[in-house]
Amino acid sequence: ETGVTQSPTHLIKTRGQQVTLRCSSQSGHNTVSWYQQALGQGPQFIFQYYREEENGRGNFPPRFSGLQFPNYSSELNVNALELDDSALYLCASSRTGVDEKLFFGSGTQLSVL
């Protein structure tokens, strides 16, 4: 059983740019959730995708958007980057309708300069 993989592991962008982060779900998982973890803080829920549709969203502006593909992999896109977007972005996959367990990837560390 493969785990959740995220790419890239590290990324440096400048303010105003756009970024795309990628996540491959664990085999057999149909739901992907994205979290933002600022330095010294707990992860905060951004949004979740199930059956290629957004299935819940946290308190993040519309410039945070996502996609889920038929193979259940996912992308997180952030437009017009701000300095405060610097954080570790975590992807988690799960099986809706089976159990609550989330499997997290190691994250993408985004630095906005």
Partner 1 sequence: GDSVTQMEGPVTLSEEAFLTINCTYTATGYPSLFWYVQYPGEGLQLLLKATKADDKGSNKGFEATYRKETTSFHLEKGSVQVSDSAVYFCALSDPGGGGGATNKLIFGTGTLLAVQP
The residues of the shown chain that bind partner 1, judged by CB under 8 A, are 4, 31, 33, 35, 40-45, 47-48, 50, 55-58, 90, 92, 94, 96, 100-102, 104-107
Q: How far is the CB of 109 from partner 1 (least distance, A)?
A: 10
Q: How far is the CB of 21 from partner 1 (least distance, A)?
A: 14
Cβ-based nearer residue to partner 1, 17 or 27:
27
Q: How far is the CB of 33 from partner 1 (least distance, A)?
A: 7
27 CB burial (10 A radius; 0-12, 13-18, 19+): exposed
Cβ-based nearer residue to partner 1, 85 or 93:
93
Cβ-based nearer residue to partner 1, 59 or 71:
59
Strands (E), the chain: 5-7, 10-13, 19-24, 31-37, 44-50, 53-57, 64-68, 74-78, 87-94, 103-104, 108-112
Task: Supply 85's token pair.
Answer: 């977007």
Task: Supply 50's token pair.
Answer: 């199930």
- Could you say which DSSP state residue 18 is in? -
Cβ-based nearer residue to partner 1, 27 or 96:
96
